[in-house]
Amino acid sequence: MQTRNLIASFALGIALTAIPVLQSHALEEKTPNLYNFTGYNSKGEKVSINYSASSITGKPLFNYQDQKQTLNFQGDEIRTVEMEIGTLVTVTIKKTVDTGFTTFSLLIPHVNLGYSNEVKIVTNGITTLNRFSTIPQFNQGQKQTYTIIHLKGTAQAVAF
């Protein structure tokens, strides 16, 4: 009987000692740095997005691909804003001299990978048409219009 109590006390001691270790690991947050998405625009055309918050050079990388173009951005060409709803990552996908420009913004939700190196996520991309005219009288009314693209993909933690 004494041996059984001693074993039970020993086992309980190990369990109580292990609890703080397990809790400390559960509280660690592992943030992804690589995102890959696909979705379809309003015309039913496939759009692919790859965003890396860093790279081997230390600069962020962003790849935008639709049926008409493949665009690659790096460093200062990529603009990020941290917000309560996530991180907004924006690139300029079309420039014109006299009528405006088009941007694409990726909304990246807050993600904790936990014990995994990859999780599936869903989010939205926003294509913004920013119009302007060289004729001041034409610069009235709504100057931006938005198209939302629903995106599915993965968030990963990778070492560069």
Q: How high is the pLDDT of residue 96?
A: 85
With tokens 């990552």, the residue in question is 89
pLDDT digits (tens, 9 = 90+) for 105-136: 999 999 999 999 999 999 999 999 998 777 77
Residues above pLDDT 90, as percent of the chain: 68
For the cut 80, the answer to whether the pLDDT of residue 54 exceeds it is yes
> What is the phi-psi region of residue 97: left when phi exceeds 0, alpha when psi lies from -120 to 50, beta otherwise?
alpha
